[in-house]
Amino acid sequence: MTTYSLLIILGCGLVTWLPRVIPFILVKKIQLPDIILRFLCYVPICILTALFVSNLLIVKEGKFPELNMTYVLATIPTALVAFLTKNLMYIVISGMCFMAIIRHFCI
Amino acid sequence: MTLAFKDGVHACIPTLLGYIGIGIAAGVIDKSANLSILEVTLLAMIVYAGAAQFIIAGLMMVATPVSAVIFTVFLVNSRHFLMSMATAPIFRQYSLLNNIGIGSLLTDESFAVAMTAISNKVPINPPWMHGLNLTAYLTWVLSCLMGALIGQWLPDPALFGLDYALVAMFIGLLYLQLISDKTKKIKNKITAMLTVSIMLVLLLRFISVELAILISTFIGCCLGILVEGKNDNV
C-alpha cells in the first residue's frame, strides 16, 4: 500500500465520519427549535427522492441531464412490486432481475 | 417491551441484499481501479460509504491530488450531516458514547429503516440501532472484500443487474417512507418530492451531482414546511 492511497483512505474516512457524528454531539448540548425539527422531518423523503432521481439521470456537463432509459424502464415493474409487496427484499431482488432481463433483450 | 440488539439485526435483514449487491459492485470497481484487496477492505471499513467508494476509485485511477479527493468525498457525504441532524434528536436522552456509535455507522439505508420505524411508532433505542448499524457494517465490509476477490475474474457487474440493486433499494425505501409516515399529509410529501425532482434536474446543468442532491433536498424540506404551514392555517 502506498502513502498516496493510505492518505486518501484516512482523509476520506475523517471527512465522512465528522458530518455523521457532529450533529449527535451538538444535539446533546442544545435543544433544537421547533421549525428546525419540522424541517428535519422532511429530510428522509427528500433525500431519498434526490438519491433515487439522480440515479435515473445521466449527467452531461453544461447541459440538462438525460434519462437513463434502461433504469427508468426497470423502475416501472420495480415500483409495482413495491406497491404490491411493501417488502424491501422482494423489491431489490425483482429490481435486479428486471434490470438483467431488460439488458438481455434490449442491448 | 424493550427492543434489543437482535431486533435491530432483524430490522436490517430486508436491506442486506442491497448492501451485498452494491458492496460487491464497489469491490469489483475498486479492484479494477488497481487497488489492492487490503486497500479495498480498508476503504470499506474506514470510509464506509457506497457512492464515495466508487468516486475514490475513479479519482485514484487518474492520480487526482489527495486534497482534491478528500474535498470531493466531503461534498459527496455532506448529506450525512442532514441525516444525522434528523436522527440525533431521537437519541438525545442516551449517553454520548451511544450517540457517537450510532452516528459513526449511520447510512442512507439504516437512516431510512430507523425513520420508517419511528413513523410506525416502534420504540427504537440504542441497542436496536446498534444491531441495525453493525449488521449493515459487517455485511458491507464482507461484500466489498468479496467483490474485490471476484473482481479478478468477473467481467462486468452490470451484466447481472447488480448495479441496479441500489436504485431498487431507493425505490423501496422511498415508497415505504411515503406510506409509513402518517404525521404529514400525502399531498405535502408529494409536493416536497416533486420540488426535489425538478430542482435536481435544473441544478444538474450547473453543479455537481453531490451538491445538487444536497441543495434540492434543502429546498424540498423548506417547501414541505411552507405548504404544511399554509394547510394548518386553512
Q: Across the interface, which of A44, A63, A74 has its CB nearest the CB of B86?
A: A44
Compute the nearest-CA separation of B146 from chain A (Å).
Answer: 19
pLDDT given at position B159: 63
A65/B77 touch (CB, cutoff 8 Å), yes or no = no
Residue B233 has pLDDT above 60, yes or no: no
Q: Say yes or no: B218 and B111 in one domain.
A: no
Torsion of CA B168, B13, B107, B169, to 10 degrees: 0
Which residues does chain A have within 8 Å of residue B103's beta carbon, measured at their own beta carbons?
A: 20-24
ipTM: 0.85
Q: Say yes or no: B42 and B152 in one domain.
A: yes
Among B228, B140, B231, B125, residue whose Cα is nearest residue B181? B228
A-B Cβ pairs (cutoff 8 Å, strict) = 288
Task: State which amino acid sits at residue B99.
Answer: N
Q: Say yes or no: B76 and B154 in one domain.
A: yes
Determine contact, residues A96/B168, Cβ cutoff 8 Å: yes
Q: B86-139, pLDDT tens digit by residue?
A: 999 999 999 999 999 999 999 988 999 999 999 888 999 999 999 999 999 999
Among A71, A49, A66, residue whose Cα is nearest residue B199? A49
Distances (CA, A) of B114 to A56, B11, B123, B125: 25, 9, 10, 10
Closest residue in A to B61 (Cα–Cα): A5
Split into its structural domains, chain B has a count of 2
Q: Say yes or no: B136 and B85 in one domain.
A: yes
Average model confidence (pLDDT) for chain B?
87
Q: Say yes or no: B72 and B146 in one domain.
A: yes
Which residues does chain A have within 8 Å of residue B104's beta carbon, measured at their own beta carbons?
A: 17, 20-21
Residue A68 has pLDDT above 70, yes or no: yes
Q: Say yes or no: B98 and B202 in one domain.
A: no
pLDDT given at position B90: 92
pLDDT confidence bin for A107, thresholds 50/70/90: low
Q: Say yes or no: B127 and B164 in one domain.
A: yes
Max intra-chain CA distance, chain A = 57
Which three-class secondary structure string do you get for chain B? CCCCHHHHHHHHHHHHHHHHHHHHHHHHHHHHCCCCHHHHHHHHHHCCCHHHHHHHHHHHHCCCCHHHHHHHHHHHHCHHHHHHHHHHHHHCCCCHHHHHHHHHCCCHHHHHHHHHHHHCCCCCCHHHHHHHHHHHHHHHHHHHHHHHHHCCCCCCHHHHCCCHHHHHHHHHHHHHHHHHCCCCCHHHHHHHHHHHHHHHHHHCCCCCHHHHHHHHHHHHHHHHHHHHHHHHHC
Q: B159-196, pLDDT tens digit by residue?
A: 667 778 778 888 988 998 888 777 778 889 999 999 99
Closest residue in B to A103 (Cα–Cα): B159
pTM for this one? 0.78
Q: Say yes or no: B128 and B208 in one domain.
A: no
Range of the domain at B48: 5-183
Q: What is the end-to-end Cα distance of chain A in Å, rounded?
A: 39
Q: Say yes or no: B189 and B176 in one domain.
A: no
Contacts of A12 (CB under 8 A, 6+ apart): B43, B46, B47, B52, B56, B69, B70, B73
Q: Say yes or no: B234 and B126 in one domain.
A: no
Q: Say yes or no: B131 and B35 in one domain.
A: yes
pLDDT given at position B156: 63
| Across B221-227, average pLDDT | 92
pLDDT given at position B234: 42
Q: Which positions 50-79 of A are in contact with B (Cβ < 8 Å)?
A: 50-57, 59, 62-65, 71, 74-75, 78-79
Q: Say yes or no: B188 and B149 in one domain.
A: no
Q: Which positions 53-112 of B are in contact with A (Cβ < 8 Å)?
A: 56, 60, 66, 69-71, 73-74, 77-89, 91-92, 96, 99-100, 102-106, 108, 111-112
pLDDT given at position B154: 64
Q: A84-100, pLDDT tens digit by residue?
A: 998 877 888 899 899 98
Q: A19-63, pLDDT tens digit by residue?
A: 999 999 998 888 878 888 888 888 888 988 998 999 899 988 888
